[in-house]
Amino acid sequence: MSVELNHTIIHAQDNRESAEFLAHILGLEIRTEWGPFIPVATSNGVTRDFAAIPAESIIMQHHAFLISDEEFDAVFARIQQAAITYYADPHMKQPGEINHHHGGRGLYFMDPAGHGMEIITRPYGSHVQQPTAS
Ligand SMILES: [Fe+2]
């Protein structure tokens, strides 16, 4: 069986603004607009398809992006250059800090539509040593 995530839809008040925001911060390209969607693709080919809907209908989503240490430095620099508030925690109680969970680095920030974005350099749980079979 081969099942891969292909795309998800992200609601935004201004889908162009939100797509350009995410593409800029993460260093990604915007693909050709298709119908009501503006796709932003990650390196594994999954697209986040931004669709414009009224603000009152937007339900906050959480999206986490796994990036390398070098990419983290570049993304973090763009976040700081853009004066975007970032947090070490998802509850936004530690502004201006990053975390070092899972043996890597991570932080959270909001996109223009109010979705919670996260960047991490190690997947959740990746620091846990698996017991070896004996
Ligand atoms: Fe997360």
Report d(CA 22, CA 37) in Å as an integer: 14
Ligand 1 midpoint to CA 134 (Å) = 34
Please, how many CA atoms are within 13 Å of residue 44, restricted to the half-sphere of its CB? 9
Is residue 48 a contact partner of residue 7, using CB atoms and an 8 Å limit?
yes
Ligand 1 midpoint to CA 27 (Å) = 20
This prediction has a pTM of 0.92
Whether 129 has a pLDDT exceeding 90, the answer reads no
DSSP state, 131? P
Encoding tokens for residue 87? 């947090």
pLDDT tens figures, 32-85? 999 999 999 999 999 999 999 999 999 999 999 999 999 999 999 999 999 999
Encoding tokens for residue 77? 């620099």
Q: What was the pLDDT predicted at 126? A: 87
Residue 54 three-state SS: coil
Q: What was the pLDDT predicted at 130? A: 61
Model confidence at 132, pLDDT cuts 50, 70, 90, reads: low
Q: What was the pLDDT predicted at 119? A: 98
Ligand 1 midpoint to CA 51 (Å) = 22
Ligand 1 midpoint to CA 61 (Å) = 10
Residue 15, exposed/middle/buried by CB under 10 A (0-12, 13-18, 19+)? Answer: buried
Ligand 1 midpoint to CA 91 (Å) = 11
Report d(CA 52, CA 94) in Å as an integer: 31
Ligand 1 midpoint to CA 53 (Å) = 24
Report d(CA 24, CA 91) in Å as an integer: 24
Encoding tokens for residue 120? 């991490």
Q: What was the pLDDT predicted at 107? A: 98
Model confidence at 1, pLDDT cuts 50, 70, 90, reads: confident
How many residues are given for the chain? Answer: 134
Model confidence at 127, pLDDT cuts 50, 70, 90, reads: confident
Whether 13 has a pLDDT exceeding 80, the answer reads yes
Ligand 1 midpoint to CA 82 (Å) = 22
Ligand 1 midpoint to CA 133 (Å) = 30
Ligand 1 midpoint to CA 89 (Å) = 9
- Percent over 90 (pLDDT), the chain: 92
Other Cβ atoms closer than 10 A to 113: 21
